[in-house]
Amino acid sequence: MNTVKVTKYSRRLPELRTSLSLLQLGRVLMAQTEKGRDQSILAHTIIEIGKVDQRIEEIQEQIAMNELLHQASILVGNFNEYRAV
């Protein structure tokens, strides 16, 4: 019988991972759509990609923090256990 250990932190991880994936996809699309445009638009896009990169780093840090807090909660016994189906 497999069980899943659920903490208050584990519920947030799928949302953060989805946000990270969407940001990464958006970054790729931004970079691809600006090929062949003039220099002023390209400069603006580079600035916007930099902002997206910062947000990606923030989300990655939040994911790492939540994973550590989830593991710490399990170690101290602060979790609910559910049967995996």
pTM across the whole model: 0.83
The pLDDT tens digits of the residues spanning 27-73 come to 999 888 766 677 878 888 889 999 999 999 999 999 999 999 999 99
Backbone angles phi, psi at 65, to 5 degrees: -65, -45
Average confidence (pLDDT) over 5-32? 93
Residues 10, 82: contact at Cβ < 8 Å?
A: no
Backbone angles phi, psi at 67, to 5 degrees: -65, -40
